[in-house]
Structure 1
Amino acid sequence: MYKYFRSDLFIRFGLRAIYKPSCSKIFKFASTSSTGKSLESLTSRQQERKVREQRRKGLSWDISDKYYDKEFQNRKKLQERKTTRTSSKFQNTLKTGKRYGKKHQSTERIGTEDKLSARYKENSNEKIKYRRLKTDDAFKIAEIVQTNLSRDDEEGALFYATKGLKNSTVAWNYLMIYKFEKGSVSGALKYFSEMRRRGSVPNSHTYTVIFNGLAQNSSIESISQKCLNLLQILLEQNAVKPTVLHLNSALKVCSNIPSVSTMYEVIYAVEEKIKIDEISYCTMLTTLSRSSEKESEDYAQDAMTIWADIISRIAAKEIRMTERIALAFGRVMVKSKEPTNIYILLRIFSDVYGLPMFCLREDIPGRSDTTSARDEMLSNHLLRSDKKLKASEREMSLIAQACELLRQKEAYYDYVDHFRDKLHVEWKEKYKVRNKE
């Protein structure tokens, strides 16, 4: 028990007790000290000696005339260490990726980290943004990459893709999709080369992503050559088996350009390895229909050859007839503007959709001597099946254009009545068909 006299404390606090939890002692302020003299009455040297004696015994004296025990000071220092992290600890957290427990996390600590991170951003030599991942799951890495790309953080996505596993192909696929969406074909192809250089093996979806990206950016120069180069890489490697999905994606590139020569190069390259399906035939006919008008007449002959191949495959029950194939073929024939080709179109539509033939062969203007030969060839191009497709407004639109080119006004109105009465398809007159001269 120690007693100290302070007149001002006695007046202010009276006989108030202070509890010291470390040693369970009660210190009381008395009217007199052990020396019987006031501390203020002592000399400066005596006061310094008294303060040193108090500090040795576990007490401290400050300017505000308050007593603090040593354990209270230690607790306060420990609390300050918890809420305020030093720069060295924060730097270690960024490098190793270790996190402290939830009991140490507070708003004060977060504010300190933000200040420290701003300090590191200013210093380019110690710039640390991303943590290294400690996971062996390639799909987990791909998910983190996708999250970074959704925030337009391409640098962070590339960091995790390169610092991840060797087989993180899915992460590279996300990077290439991101570059294609931004319109950077060269950047996406650089990622493809970097992925192969780092040992990641492209999967089947990788080639599909690149073909679709090239089709999406078909307006760029030399896109057809890049498509052929990628197809050559696909056919030469052994890790991925070429499928019809790759073929259809490559043909989509040719259709969007459009480039008929590139289309034939693609078909000849995969002729022995991949079987063509309905979508492939439809894309080929669409490419022909998007060609220039100067070459449309020649492409009509190519369309007839493709149509004959389609009929033979349907007879062998390898594929089936679809509306998209018939419409794509009709667009090619109408674009040629040759009366004989248009008459063949009406005959094929009559066979595929079960429509009556209102336009006769004798009514075709400018009929040449090759019409009979065309009729004989047409017999091999008919479906001759009981299953008919259902016609809609799109088919009626092509028929209206055909009647306009043939100048068959009566046949046009007969088709309109048939679509309205039998097929319940309302057709608004968009074409002024003239009478035949």
Structure 2
Amino acid sequence: MKILILLLLPLFVFAQVNLPTVPQPSQISSYSNQNYSNPSNQNILLNSTNQYFDTDKQKQQKQHQQIIGEVEQYEKLQAETLSQINQDINEINYNNQFDLPSLANKKGTEYYRNTFDKMLKLNIENYSIKNVNFDIENAYLENREDKAEFDKIVKQSGEFIIAKMKELKYDTNSNSAKNFMLFEFFSETLQLKSNGLKHFPIKYDFDDFWGKKDWSKMFVTKLLKTQTGQCHSMPLLYLTLAEEIGAEAYLSLSPNHSYIKFQDENEKWYNLELTNGMLTVSSFIFNSGFIRAEAMQNKIYMQNLSKKELLSQFYVDLASGYLHKFGYDDFVEKAVNKALELYPNNINANMVKANYNNERLIYALTQLKINPKKKEDIERIGNYPEVVELFKIRNKQYQIIDDLGFQEMSIEAYENWLSSLKETKNKLDNDNLKKQVKGLIIKKARN
């Protein structure tokens, strides 16, 4: 039976709305006198004392009056157009430059603002992963989660892992041993002989794995209650427990995905795929076919995220939970700007920023009653420099994402790539890597 394991990071909805190219001001019709001859420059001689004009003079006078009439007509049309623009400006409070309406008055947004302010006070190189992630999840849940109970579960899980290490006579100071035992905590059934306590492997949650119906499906708190998770919650729980037992491990990203990396005492790196309990080689990640050379050069994938870069990811999580619950407003921009301040190449932060810019543009067009699918509406955009600027800002952000090396990966492609872990070669790689790290652990324990 073919097993398809679906996993994703929760905030990376990158859906570009294809709007027509914004016409440049020079391309917009301008009702100006310069398009027409100025009557005062015509060689027309009018003698008020002469009661009779020859035929040529009469023709010239008619032409003169006709030109004046045309100029007046276009000046009137120009005035009407400017009047309509000014009316539009007054109706939408142009001074705010088409800012999205604030959602700060909605119940529950205060938890996000409080969490953001709390995060600003963190030491960016030394903070508790457990506490930061809990605060972000609890903001979405409006502080209904019990922090003491959460801390208790994490503490008991850490004690179980260390007890199992001692039972197996693993060196409890070895980073390899701690990470390997922690990996088995996720992927194997473990039981302590001393008291009979048993822990079962954490399974993948196939129900609403995108979190479209329930965003809390992405949470560590949800995982601990159900023992099921996906590629956002599993790695974060791993890092939380690694922090609890003093193991060194890192979050790493790949297209639509995140996983764990750790280094053994011989400086060899291991990739831990928590979704199906396997160790993988780096070539497996490359084989997804969606990692461009630019992505590697800009280090947006397959890198060990530092504490500072991980904190950037947490700001993205904060923004994502907010926009899923309430929508886009200046809070989303503020959170994602902080993420980019900490880690400018954060691909997920850049995508949320692009989506925010796109929402702001759509809002401006809606306020002006401009339908981007109608040519006659699009031609009006040049009358609004701020809206033209919004187009530029949005497109510039899209260009940043392209330059970073992002390539969109379809759900089908992601399914096929991740399910390929079950292929014979990858199973052999998993078995060999397990033997290597376990052999090193046993050797170190004996010494």
**TM-score, L = length of structure 2:** 0.22
Highest relative contact order (Cα 8 Å, sep 6+), 1 or 2? 2
